[in-house]
Amino acid sequence: MDRKQLIVDAATESFSRFGYKATTMDQVAKIANVGKGTIYTFFINKEELFDEIVSNLIKEMKQAAESSVHPERSLSQNVSFALYQLLEFRKDHQLTIKLFQEGRDIGTRAVVDFMDRVEAAIINYIKEVLQRAIDKGEIKPCNPEVTAFAMFKLYISLIFDWEKTRQPLNKEEISRLFELYFFEGLSLG
Amino acid sequence: MDRKQLIVDAATESFSRFGYKATTMDQVAKIANVGKGTIYTFFINKEELFDEIVSNLIKEMKQAAESSVHPERSLSQNVSFALYQLLEFRKDHQLTIKLFQEGRDIGTRAVVDFMDRVEAAIINYIKEVLQRAIDKGEIKPCNPEVTAFAMFKLYISLIFDWEKTRQPLNKEEISRLFELYFFEGLSLG
DNA sequence: AAATGACTATATTGTTCATTTAGTCATTTT
DNA sequence: AAAATGACTAAATGAACAATATAGTCATTT
């Protein structure tokens, strides 16, 4: 069987359960039923192994987002659905939750870098979607980079920060808030 | 002369220069030209001293905001001016900058508590302004608490996070973004 | 009566040393 | 011969302890 895949699976498993720092290469080898040296025939070091897994994760997220975006729908509908998708994705993926925790609480270097990469990937994706919408004249011209950044940060705040002190918002509420703030605006008529 | 005020001034000075943790009571006493014991005739402990200063700061911020909000102006204008005010305030007040840094980087307990208090005060203030605007029928009905929270978080992200990786936004740009996102919306006319 | 600073108990920081772990490589297995 | 392995090493980590720094007290001074 594919030893490389065994290793990747084992590492994903362990990172998801214990986080990056608390995962040892001995443990990965043991879970994968593989000698430790074997890992190093496929990956330069622990960080490279982690990198492979994070890259996969980002690809998956992109696919999840893409599957929910349809060009014939309006942008605000697409954003709404994509947000749903992202929320579902996070819920299903213990790995992202664990890593976000570790990044926030311990600040492990490699993990903070991971979070930055994920953030950059998501913002860049939103940016592209926005750019297309602007080109098609679907929304007002605006700086797509700042707008994507603002959407992402607000999204993260509503998910993580709001829950710290107040009753969590459900998906419908979050979706509705985005519609209201970013698309309709608070002004009357 | 007013020994209590001397102490408060000295402590403000030291907190602004070195942060909360790196400020010692000996240092405060020395700057204030006062025996250390004297500090404890006015304040229970270091945290109470800090508290007094933070309370003053919050009062000042509220006054600054109030001086820029005029009921006869539109909400979006008021928000725009208040943002200006807040940005100016931050620039002039080394203390807020230093403390925000310390809270983020070191996570000193008392400082994180301080940040939470400032955050709560600002959000509550925005909430009141929004509530009045809704009552007057100036903007669409919306949850004023979540909206205030969203405005605050977006503001903080644009000030602090955006600058980390990209060219800082100036006051006009930030003001314009708020106008666009929260009031006009991205949807076409 | 108010102010003070030497003093103490506690918290913080620096240091040492034992343990853990990433990564290597000589040996074994296929 | 090529791939896999795990005992081994050097480096990182962290626990335990020592040294220092600091918050807060209180007997003495002003």
Q: Is the domain of B105 the same as that of B13? A: no
| Segments in chain B below pLDDT 70 | 189
Q: Is the domain of A77 the same as that of A33? A: no
CA neighbor of A34 nearest in space, from A3, A80, A2, A77: A3
CB pairs under 8 A between A and B: 91
% of chain A residues with pLDDT over 70: 99
**Selected residue of B181, B182, B183, B184 to mutate for chain A interface (largest A Cβ count, 10 A):** B181
Coil, helix or strand at residue A139: strand
Strand partners, B68: none
pLDDT of residue A36: 95
Instruction: Give the number of other CB atoms < 10 A from CB of residue A144.
Output: 20
Q: Is A5 exposed, middle or buried (0-12, 13-18, 19+ CB in 10 A)?
A: exposed
pLDDT of residue B34: 95
Task: Identify the CATH number of the domain in which residue B159 sits.
Answer: 1.10.357.10
Q: Is the domain of B7 the same as that of B52? A: no
- pLDDT at residue A34 above 90? yes
- pLDDT at residue A87 above 80? no
pLDDT tens column, A93-106:
889 888 888 888 88
Length of chain B equals: 189
Q: Is the domain of A159 the same as that of A67? A: yes
Instruction: Give the number of other CB atoms < 10 A from CB of residue B125.
Output: 19
Asked if A76 and B187 come within 8 Å (Cβ–Cβ), the reply is yes
Taking a C-beta distance cutoff of 8 angstroms, is the pair A50, A115 a contact? no
What is the Cα–Cα distance from B116 to B123, expressed in whole angstroms? 10
As a rounded value in angstroms, the CA-to-C1' distance for A46 and D3 is 21
Q: Does A160 touch chain B (CB under 8 A)?
A: no
Residue A163 lies in a domain: yes
**Positions 19-48 in B, CB within 7 angstroms of strand C:** 21, 29, 34-38, 40-41
Q: Give the pair of three-digit tokens for residue B99.
A: 């403390």
CA neighbor of A152 nearest in space, from A118, A184, A104, A183: A118
* B49, B52, B56, B58 alpha-carbon torsion, rounded to 10°: 100
Q: Is the domain of A112 the same as that of A172? A: yes
Q: Phi, psi at residue A41, to the nearest 5°?
A: -80, -20
Task: pLDDT band for A189, please (50, 70, 90 cuts).
Answer: low
A108 touches strand D (CB under 7 A): no
Task: Identify the CATH number of the domain in which residue A2 sits.
Answer: 1.10.10.60
Number of domains in chain A: 2
Residue B189 lies in a domain: no
Structural domain for B28, as ranges = 1-43
A1 touches strand C (CB under 7 A): no
Residue A99 lies in a domain: yes
Angstrom CA distances, B180 to A5, A94, A169, B17, stand at 48, 36, 24, 37
pLDDT of residue B189: 67
List of residues 6+ apart from B34 with CB closer than 8 A? B3, B6, B7, B10
- pLDDT at residue A107 above 90? no
Q: Is the domain of A38 the same as that of A124? A: no
As a rounded value in angstroms, the CA-to-C1' distance for B45 and C7 is 18
Residue A189 lies in a domain: no
Taking a C-beta distance cutoff of 8 angstroms, is the pair B148, B126 a contact? yes
Coil, helix or strand at residue A169: coil
Q: Give the pair of three-digit tokens for residue A115.
A: 């979070």
Lowest model confidence (mean pLDDT) among A21-25, A40-44, B60-64, B141-145: B60-64
- Residues in B closer than 8 angstroms to A153, CB to CB, are 153-154, 157, 161
Length of chain A equals: 189
Helix, strand, coil percentages, rounded to 5, for chain A? 80, 0, 20
As a rounded value in angstroms, the CA-to-C1' distance for A130 and C3 is 67
- When the pLDDT of each residue in chain A is averaged and rounded to a whole number, the result is 90
Instruction: Give the number of other CB atoms < 10 A from CB of residue B144.
Output: 20
Q: Is the domain of B94 the same as that of B23? A: no
